[in-house]
Amino acid sequence: MRLSVVLFLVASSAVLAGSVFLKTLVFPDESNNSYVEMVPQKPLNLGAFTLCMRVATELPNMEREIILFAYRTQDFDELNVWQELDGRYSFYLSGDGVMFKAPKLGPTETHMCVTWDSSSGAAAIFMDGRKSVTKMYRKGHRIRSGGKVIIGQDPDDYLGSFEAKQSFVGSISDVNMWDSVLSDSTIQDMNSGKRVPRGNVFDWESVELKVNGGAEVVNSEN
């Protein structure tokens, strides 16, 4: 494993000679050591959230699970987002998860958002701006602070015990998180590339990333 590299990547774009560059996390191969830790702007003590990202992968559907986002404390998987073996999407809050049927990920970029509100239990996902059925999940629950957020791996204990067959392979970018449920119209605006208020838990324009193993951060011109 190569040494962890701390990247202070300010702005999802860096303007150089009139060009705009966007950063993307690239995971080229299955591995048990390639991941990116995201450092939050505030503790993840959450009673509601919206989590959004852009994802592309050539991993075959229906052959294995795909981890998309993992937040773990010492004892619990506080928030994990998956594409399941049967192609459904799920997220788990310290226990059994909630499942959604939606178009599958592919080699071209998909904009994906997950929303949840503890006060009502309402949970939904958005794929390219289109909303799933709303489901009731973990009403009254609260996500606890004090853990680590990992992109690219599913930690079976605190920042460790990774399995290559659960690793992410592909590219992930524009990862933003809010401590509230955004309106449907705001998520649709984000999908279409319009400017929206930046995440107050994770802001892709200023997030601190700690890159490990074979993961890479690639700047591409927009």
Alpha carbon 95 to its chain centroid, in Å, reads 19
Q: Provide the residue range defining the domain that includes 129.
A: 21-217
Helix (H, G, I), strand (E, B) or coil at 38: strand
Q: How many C-alpha atoms does 139 have within 13 Å on its Cβ side?
A: 6
pTM: 0.89
28 part of a folded domain: yes
Q: What is the pLDDT of residue 222?
A: 65
User: Of the ranges 22-31, 79-88, 99-108, 154-163, which one carries the lowest mean pLDDT score?
Assistant: 154-163
Q: What does the block give as tokens for 5?
A: 């590299």
Mean pLDDT of 34-56: 97
Structural domain count of the chain? 1
CATH assignment at residue 140:
2.60.120.200
Q: Backbone phi, then psi, for 213, in 5-degree steps?
A: 65, -140
Residue 11 lies in a domain: no
In the prediction, which pLDDT does 160 show?
64
Residue 134: pLDDT band (50, 70, 90) is very high
Q: Is the pLDDT of residue 14 over 90?
A: no
- What per-residue string of b and e applies to 46-81 under the rule 16 or more CB within 10 Å gives b? bebbbbbbbbbbebeeeeebbbbbbbbbeebbbbbb
CA nearest to 91, candidates 81, 100, 101, 83:
81
Residue 15 has pLDDT above 70, yes or no: no
CA angle 145, 151, 153 (to 5 degrees): 100
What mean pLDDT, rounded, does the chain reach? 89
Domain assignment of residue 13, yes or no: no
Per-residue pLDDT, averaged over 8-18, amounts to 38
Q: State pLDDT tens for residues 151-204.
A: 999 987 666 679 899 899 999 999 999 999 999 999 999 999 999 999 999 999
- Rounded to 10 degrees, the C-alpha dihedral 106/154/211/114 comes to 60
Q: Residues 153, 58: contact at Cβ < 8 Å?
A: no
Residue 3 forms part of a structural domain: no
* 130 occurs within a structural domain: yes
Whether residue 12 lies inside any domain: the answer is no
For the segment 50-77, the average pLDDT, to the nearest whole number, is 90
Residue 15 placed within a domain: no
**Is position 64 within any domain?**
yes
> Where residue 63 falls among pLDDT bands split at 50, 70, 90?
confident
Q: Is the pLDDT of residue 9 over 70?
A: no
pLDDT at 161: 73
* Residues above pLDDT 90, as percent of the chain: 77
Q: Are 68 and 104 within 8 A, CB to CB?
A: no
Judged against a pLDDT cut of 50, whether residue 10 lies above it is answered with no
Residue 12 corresponds to which tokens in the numbers above? 């999802």
What is the C-alpha to C-alpha distance for residues 70 and 96, in angstroms, rounded to an integer? 15
